Amino acid sequence: MINAVLLDLAGVIYDGERAVPGASDAVARLRAAGLPIRFVSNTTRSSKPTILARLAKLRLSVEGNELFTPAEAACDWLREHGRAAHLLVHPDLVSEFQDLPADGGMAVVVGDAGDAFDYPALNAAFRKLVDGAELLALAPNRSFKDADGKLSLDAGAFVAALEFASQRQAIVLGKPAPGFFHSALATVPCTAAEAVMVGDDAETDVAGALSAGLGQALLVRTGKYREGDEARFAPSPTATVGDIVAAVEWILARRSGAT
């Protein structure tokens, strides 16, 4: 039984500045069927208001409480643990980290900093870590589909470098951390086993969701997908489909009991 849907954004709903063909209507079909939707994104170059504005331009009306981001999860963690933040993030994301503890312990927060990933910035973060700071990874993704249509290096490699140098293990706050999926599902009336995840990343979206206890996870052949991704990580996808339109068809067919 499917009683809730978690959707990735980049590569599933939009590709760069353009909507994936049929995405808006596909999401509307899920809403019309009465299925709760939560959008779970590992995007760490844009603030939550920026993401919501982008979705609105693509004819997708998404409420703030339907969108879950790693930056939001990081702020919750910092407040809960009373830690000040040393940020190694994209300049466009800095605005998310407001009204946080200013003293006490320290945590290094790493996102996709883009051109800000230079030696001075990485070394400053490293020095905080060897002085005892926690290491928070907004997302450990290996790559993302860049504006030129090719894959580019994502934040995961820089997180791994800081882990290696500091001998500290990162606390992952976005996908594939089970808590990230569970926090989204905590706002809908269903169990994890009754939810389905749709994503273009076989590792963080699909294997992550299934490892977190979601009943099903679909891999779409859009965004960063490359041939053979469905066999590269375990658990493997429940199904691999062409795009968000095909994913919604798959979901609605099984929700209605069709075979």
Is residue 134 in some structural domain?
yes
Compute the mean pLDDT over every residue in the chain, rounded to the nearest whole number. Answer: 95
Do both 128 and 145 map to the same domain?
Answer: yes
Mean pLDDT of the 37-53 span:
96
Judge if 90 and 160 occupy the same domain: yes
Query: In the predicted model, what is the mean pLDDT of residues 118-123?
Result: 98
Q: In the prediction, which pLDDT does 258 show? A: 43
CATH code of the domain in which 116 resides = 3.40.50.1000
d(CA 187, CA 79): 20
Region of 202 on the Ramachandran plot (φ > 0 left; ψ -120 to 50 alpha; else beta): alpha
Beta-sheet strands, E only, within 80-225: 83-88, 105-110, 134-137, 143-145, 151-153, 171-172, 195-199, 216-220
Which of these three, 123, 146, 172, is where a domain ends?
Answer: 172
The string of pLDDT tens digits covering residues 19-35 is 999 999 999 999 999 99
More confident residue, 254 or 197: 197
Q: What range defines the domain where residue 20 resides? A: 4-42+175-255
Same domain flag for 142 and 107: yes
Is 74 found in the same domain as 116? yes
Query: Is 177 a residue whose pLDDT tops 70?
Result: yes
Q: Are residues 197 and 250 in the same domain?
A: yes
The fraction of the chain above a pLDDT of 70, given in percent, is 98
**Would the pLDDT of 16 be above 60?**
yes
Residue 215 covered by a domain: yes
Residue 89 domain-assigned (yes or no): yes
Give pLDDT, residue 257: 53
Residues 24 and 88 in one domain: no
Within a domain: 12: yes
> Are 148 and 192 part of one and the same domain?
no
Q: Which residues contact 97 (CB under 8 A, 6 or more apart)?
A: 71, 74, 75, 78, 85, 87, 89, 109
Interhelix angle 119-130/156-166, nearest 10 degrees: 40
3 state DSSP class of 38 = strand
Contact indicator for 12, 225 with CB cutoff of 8 Å: no
Residue 247 belongs to some domain of the structure: yes
Nearest by Cα to 113 from 144, 82, 84? 144
Instruction: Choose the final residue of a domain: 143, 172, 201.
Output: 172
Provide the pLDDT confidence category of residue 259 given band limits of 50, 70 and 90: very low
